[in-house]
Amino acid sequence: MEVTANVASPPSRPLSVRRASAEMERADNSTAEEPMSPTGRILEEMGVCIVVVMGLDSPVNLPVFRSGIETELITRSSRFRSVQIMDGPEDDKPQWVQTAVNVDDHIIVPRLDPAAVASNPEKAVEDYVAMLSTLPMDRGRPLWEFHFLDLKTSGATSTVVLRLHHSIGDAMSIMTLFMASARSTADPTRLPAMPPPPRRTGAIYQQRTRPPLSSSSDYLAWVWSYFVLAWHTLVDVALLAATTINDVLVGVTSAALSQYYFRKSGDTNTKRICLRSILLVNTRPVSSRQTYVTKVERGNRLSSLIYPFHIALHNDPLEYVRKAKRSMHRKKSSLEVKFVQVVVEFLVKYFGAKTGAFIFRLFATRTSMLLSNVVGPSEHITLCGHPISFMAITTCGQPQALIMHFLNYGSTIRVTLAVDDAQFPDCHKLLDDFDDSIRLIKNAAGLKKLTTLIQND
């Protein structure tokens, strides 16, 4: 298993961007496809976007990639050929309506500063990705666009960046679209291999099937399990008032943040320090990943957990993982995820998306970090006629000062940070801490065992 890192932070200067000028024409037979989900409506109000960075093993062949977008991605995903409209002037319930798509409207080839590219191509890509967070999207057309950076970096021959509005779908729906539209790089005659299924098969709060009750002790154990479920739920709901991410990666994050804090502060006091964070959770059944060939996931099926990251020094690197697994086990034994989902749907239904988004943003500003883990293709893929050497993902539009995304692609876990430069002026040092932490934990646990833990959790 290899771990690499990326960073996305606000650039120090704007970069010029050239766009195709063709106008999109609305299809005469456009029809309302479906209403937007409550989660999608809140993300729409907040203006959250997903950014997927893909390194290519070859120079960009724009006609070939354009053809792949048209014949694979747009054909398979109705959201890539739909716009958002309102039912009426007084109605805040947007609908997805299919429309004619001019692919050239969604292809952007920027002119980058040659001196900046020659000096540091990796930073030129980072700055460009960060700059995308400052640009509005044209709502008169489907809310997605591909940016082609035909420059060589240390990890790729060229780079393609997909930016799309989060209301189109979440990261898992985008990954299933990629896998359904791609081919295995090792064997172009077949679809990419699916990720190995974890031990869990249902929702993270779903309890295990219990054997029939045959004695009083079985009955007491049955009652006790539901008492624990109810108690954990009450505690987590109380914390909220005041899918899932992998437990091992939570431990890695805790170790990296601890190393960063103690090095930067020079503090030797290991007093209890806690950072409140949001962990995004995929609420789909795990088995849904296995059906991407016949059904491409769409939309947003997300919820969240409130997770306290404890900053501490441990002599044994595995202690960070042990603490994370204990804490996450309790989280997975409660209905906190379901509670958040129900609250979001209630707020949007009875108070509207604007109020729901305001409350959610107010709640999010009380947290310091956002963390998510996305399971990508388990082997290298060829997408739109181009072999993909690496994939990274990030988002923009959230209020947290530190946003961390893990993406599994092949045998690599790539960490991407989106940061507030005022709070993390040395964010590359934090990336170094992630690299050091995963290496220490990997050496302590053994590569094979650690890889198995990450895949099976």
Are domains 2-184 and 216-373+399-456 of this chain identical in fold? Answer: yes
How far is the first Cα of the chain from the last one, in angstroms, to the nearest whole number?
Answer: 16
Label each residue of the chain as H, E or C.
CEEEEEEECCCCCCCCCCECCCCCCCCCCCCEEEECCHHHHHHHHHCCEEEEEEEECCCCCHHHHHHHHHHHHHHHCHHHHEEEEECCCCCCCEEEEECCCCHHHHEECCCCCHHHHHHCHHHHHHHHHHHHCCCCCCCCCCCEEEEEECCCCCCCCEEEEEEEEHHHECHHHHHHHHHHHCEECCCCCCCCCCCCCCCCCCCCCCCCCCCCCCCHHHHHHHHHHHHHHHHHHHHHHHHHHCCCCCHHHHHHHHHHHHHHHHHHHCCCCCCCEEEEEEEEEECCCHHHHHHCCCCCCCECCEEEEEEEEEECCCCCCHHHHHHHHHHHHHHHCCCHHHHHHHHHHHHHHHHCHHHHHHHHHHHHCCCCEEEEEEECCCCCEEECCEEEEEEEEEEECCCCCEEEEEEEECCEEEEEEEECCCCCCCHHHHHHHHHHHHHHHHHHHCHHHHHHHHHHC
The reported pLDDT for the residue numbered 44 is 85
pTM for the predicted model, two decimal places: 0.81
The reported pLDDT for the residue numbered 240 is 42
Q: Where are the domains of the chain?
A: 2-184, 216-373+399-456
CATH architecture of the domain formed by 216-373+399-456: 2-Layer Sandwich (3.30)
pLDDT values of the chain reduced to their tens digit, one per residue, 457 residues: 454 555 444 433 333 332 222 233 334 444 446 778 888 888 888 889 999 999 999 999 999 999 999 999 999 999 999 998 876 544 567 788 999 999 999 999 999 999 999 999 999 999 999 899 888 888 889 999 999 999 999 999 999 999 999 999 999 889 989 999 999 999 999 988 876 665 555 444 455 555 555 555 566 665 666 666 665 555 554 444 444 767 888 999 999 999 999 988 887 776 678 888 999 888 776 554 555 555 566 778 888 888 888 888 888 888 998 899 888 888 777 788 888 888 888 888 888 888 989 988 988 888 989 999 888 888 999 999 999 999 999 998 888 989 999 998 988 889 999 988 888 888 889 999 998 998 888 888 775 555 555 555 5
Fold of 2-184: Chloramphenicol Acetyltransferase (3.30.559)
The first and second tokens of residue 227, run together, are 């008492």
